[in-house]
Amino acid sequence: MPIKDVFLPLVGQPHGPTLAAIEKCVAVAGDLGARITALALEEEDVFVRPKVVLPDDPDCAGGGGSDDMQQLLNAFTNAASRANIRAQSRTGKVPADQIAAILAEHARFSDLALVPVRPHDSRTEKIIETFLFESGRPLLLCPEDRVGELRPEFENVAIAWDHSARAARAVGDALPILQAANLVCVVTVADDETEAITQSGTNLVHHLREHGVYASFETVKGNGSSIGKVLGSWAQSHAIDAIVMGAYHHSRLNETVWGGVTKTVIGQPPCWVMISH
């Protein structure tokens, strides 16, 4: 199914990298030929400790709250206008503990959710976690700390393949992006390339060919490093535009415990990352 309807949550403060990430996400929607819907949410009134504002302090200008939300909306509206794509936006004010759930609910009515990611930010990770397990839709993570390097066209795409059901789901969700790419590589991180690993990667390559995707397969040695770091380094050295991967987690006493690869990638994506569960 083509990606025709994408969703962009707008939360947090309008830092420079966040505004740049919004523009890149809008550009991706334009490249996909999709409509984009932004939802800007603000926390309902809570007690805020009084803050001394110095007249010449630029960081304190403009207050916060609604001003922050308006700046995010303005960045979205201006980017959509420049990209000349179909766009709409909505706003709301909700309790802080409901923001992630409400965003995930709205994401259900899209083909893909685009999520700007601040590195190692607990709030962002909570939103991603809720999206993955409550929206039923794939996510495309936009790393704010690398936003200047990102291209909106995904010409060189890697599939992080671990032979699992979640990875297979991610490949299915990403088919429109894979079909539009010039280069696709199926990558498995393993110290020993066993016959089973080779056969699994080869089978995926053959499956993708039936969908018009001519991919290659290779294994990358971990050499004692975490798989997430190895995958990130490999993606950087091969000028990968986007990684497709499945999200792994298990719950223990109602606590979500991410698999190591997922936690590393969500904490600081090395490039665009399309992730599914």
Q: What is the pLDDT of residues 88-135, one digit of tens each?
A: 999 989 998 999 999 999 999 999 999 999 998 888 888 998 998 899
Q: Which of 150, 213, 203 is nearest to 177 (CA)?
A: 213
Q: How many domains does the chain have?
A: 2
Q: Is the pLDDT of residue 50 over 60?
A: no
**Same domain for 108 and 162?**
no
Q: Give the chain's mean pLDDT.
A: 87
Q: Which pLDDT does position 12 carry in this prediction?
A: 86
Alpha-carbon Rg for the chain, nearest whole angstrom, is: 19
- Whether residue 176 sits in one domain with residue 145: no
Give the model's pLDDT for residue 249: 56
Among residues 121, 149, 177, the one where a domain terminates is 149
Q: Among 48-57, 116-125, 135-144, 213-222, where is mean pLDDT lowest? A: 48-57
Do 192 and 124 belong together in one domain? Answer: no
Asked if pLDDT for residue 263 goes beyond 80, the answer is no
Host domain of residue 165: 156-276
Dihedral (CA of 233, 158, 126, 114) sign:
positive
- What is the pLDDT confidence band of residue 65, given thresholds at 50, 70 and 90? low
Q: Domain check: are 135 and 15 in the same one?
A: yes
Q: Are strands 139-143 and 272-276 parallel, antiparallel or unpaired?
A: antiparallel
Cα–Cα distance, 56 to 60 (Å, whole number): 9
DSSP the chain: ----EEEEEE-S---HHHHHHHHHHHHHHHHHT-EEEEEEEEEPP---------TT-GGGTT-STHHHHHHHHHHHHHHHHHHT--EEEEEEEE-GGGHHHHHHHHHTTSSEEEEEE-TT-HHHHHHHHHHHHHT-S-EEEEEGGGGGG--SS--EEEEE--SSHHHHHHHHHTHHHHHH-SEEEEEEE-SS--HHHHHHHHHHHHHHHTTT---EEEEE--TTS-HHHHHHHHHHHTT-SEEEEE--EEEETTEEEE-HHHHHHHHS-SSEEEEE-
- Using pLDDT thresholds of 50, 70 and 90, give the confidence band for residue 175: very high
- For residue 86, pLDDT over 60 is answered with yes
Position 227 scores a pLDDT of 84
Residue 144 and residue 160 share a domain = no
pLDDT computed for residue 47 by the predictor = 43
Q: Are residues 208 and 266 in the same domain?
A: yes
Confidence grade of residue 56 (pLDDT, cut at 50, 70, 90): very low
Residue 134 exposed, middle or buried by CB count within 10 Å (0-12, 13-18, 19+)? middle
State which of 104, 128, 149 marks the end of a domain: 149
Confidence of residue 240 (pLDDT cuts 50, 70, 90): very high
Interval 125-155: pLDDT, tens: 889 989 988 999 999 999 999 999 999 999 9
Same domain, 120 and 175: no
The rounded distance, in Å, linking the Cα atoms of 165 and 186 is: 15
Q: Return the structure tokens found at 221.
A: 């040695």
pLDDT, position 260: 64
In the prediction, which pLDDT does 21 show? Answer: 97
- Domain check: are 169 and 248 in the same one? yes
What's the rounded mean pLDDT across residues 205-230? 92
Least confident stretch, 19-23, 56-60, 216-220: 56-60
Lowest-pLDDT range, 39-53, 69-83, 236-250? 39-53
pLDDT, mean of residues 258-276: 81
- Asked if residue 64 has pLDDT above 50, the reply is no
Q: Does residue 259 register a pLDDT over 70?
A: no
CATH number at residue 270: 3.40.50.620
Domain boundary among 127, 149, 171: 149
Assess whether 185 and 50 both reside in one domain.
no
Do 178 and 116 have their domain in common? no
pLDDT at 46: 52
Same domain for 138 and 13: yes
10 and 143 share one domain:
yes
